[in-house]
Structure 1
């Protein structure tokens, strides 16, 4: 039997070492790539969670500011009902309602936006009545608006706004409801509101104001469906101009 040349043994050993080294290098490279991919995935998850937490905090602060605005309005409406109205009695707000409106349009659902718009409209009607001098004075000097429906309508809008804020704070963003379901839920939440120290509007008036708000939402939804746009807008053009 012919002995194996020394150089053949050497080549065999070098080949085995080279193949083993390549497998080791490939395994290390694959392991490093898998580790990087896991780290990137974890970074993306942490970033998404951080953004979600930030958004939740922003929306929570917005709802608090909105609730404080509603409470300011409620006190003012009660002053009007009690005959203590003056043009200078407007509550001093920590955040201007136009600033709030901008944030409402950015961070809230179409239903919350529309209820907010309803409140701003009702508030604006009272402002206009006062600015145009449409109020009378009694013998003691106290004043009251000639249009006695202005304040109750604004109070109904304020009650709806409070209910909408409560639902938004407690609700599930991923839950999808029809407008009919959302309207029924909102009215039920108004009925469940704690007793308020101020004069509260009648359930019939609350339902009327709520129906007006949802009618605008349904009109906008129908209009955009005809145009074959997949998502309904929060407010229509006329609504945004009034804001």
Structure 2
């Protein structure tokens, strides 16, 4: 599903004309199979968030290639990246990134509304997903009226709304207590089994990482496979 070859990326720091180039990703080679849950685990500053942004098309690597289901995404224009991202990826974030002025229903609905889907179809799809994540009773509540776990379930429903084959989860349980964290991880595993969605989880937490089929460990911009887990 995702194939990465010789991926390099650096950032420049310092004053203009005196910038220093700091390597962040150092020739990464790895593959993620369709229907896997893969964790990329590492400390803050290891390069894992930069890798996520490049995989998702928010950043362009210095060199290297990324193929997603056979399509080379690293050769896309900005407009092509945006269109591919909308059709192929869903996103779950640590801080939920919900619109505070929209209800749970409206937050989940928003990607379809932006995509021009008609009102009747939007309503049916949103209701199905809110039922799936167990939030029908709070669908008209605003984010500040929801618990952290409920907000993350809204975020998951929003990630699912366009039926993406791949979901990127950036520290998806980082703002949750341990009991709620387990509930969210079980929901991710259930969605993976039921829908065959490929999940890529970025985390610093080994407990979260071990819920995956496979773990990659990132250290100082280099990535090594950490083995197969037995969680699923």
Q: Given the two structures, how large is their TM-score scaled by the length of structure 1?
A: 0.25
Rg larger for? 1
